[in-house]
């Protein structure tokens, strides 16, 4: 299947700093990418939908000024957690779709562990 890669796999940052997570589709062009957050023993929670060349659409309750999403090309989307706090520590996962049809498979990255100390 298609490959979606995230970087870094894990990161530790100090409270108040910002951290960027990259999501790349390695062998296909993704017009749409999705960002999820997952807390321990919970399911994936959709944070935002990222469309290439346009502003991201955020889910209710997700602060767009805190979680900055950029989708500048068809193969790269970035999530920047600004002014991170310990409660932002979580597993962040991106996914990418080959297209907008419901029959288009969505592939997920390996995930990025963020720990804010």
Partner 1 sequence: DAKTTQPTSMDCAEGRAANLPCNHSTISGNEYVYWYRQIHSQGPQYIIHGLKNNETNEMASLIITEDRKSSTLILPHATLRDTAVYYCIVRGSYIPTFGRGTSLIVHP
Which positions touch partner 1 (CB under 8 A)?
A: 1, 4, 6, 32, 34, 36, 43-46, 49, 91, 93, 95, 97, 100-111, 113
Question: Toward partner 1, which CB reaches closer, 34 or 67?
Answer: 34
Report d(CA 35, CA 59) in Å as an integer: 10
Token pair of 11 as six digits: 């990161």
Smallest distance, partner 1 to C-beta of residue 83, A: 26
What beta strand segments (E) does 17-66 contain? 19-25, 32-38, 45-51, 57-58
Report d(CA 103, CA 99) in Å as an integer: 9
Question: Toward partner 1, which CB reaches closer, 14 or 40?
Answer: 40
The strand pairing partners of 68, in sequence order, are: 80
Smallest distance, partner 1 to C-beta of residue 51, A: 11
Question: Toward partner 1, which CB reaches closer, 15 or 105?
Answer: 105
Report d(CA 92, CA 49) in Å as an integer: 14
Smallest distance, partner 1 to C-beta of residue 43, A: 5
């Amino acid at each position: 299947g298609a490959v979606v890669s995230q970087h870094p796999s894990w990161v530790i940052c100090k409270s108040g700093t910002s951290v960027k997570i990259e999501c790349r589709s390695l062998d296909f062009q993704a017009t749409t990418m999705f960002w999820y957050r997952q807390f321990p023993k919970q399911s994936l929670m959709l944070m935002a939908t990222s469309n290439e060349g346009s502003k991201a659409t955020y889910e209710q309750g997700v602060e767009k000024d805190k979680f900055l999403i950029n989708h500048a090309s068809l193969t790269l989307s970035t999530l920047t957690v600004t002014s991170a706090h310990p409660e932002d520590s979580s597993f962040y996962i991106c996914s990418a779709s080959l297209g907008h049809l419901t029959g288009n498979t969505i592939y997920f990255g390996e995930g990025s562990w963020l720990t804010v100390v």
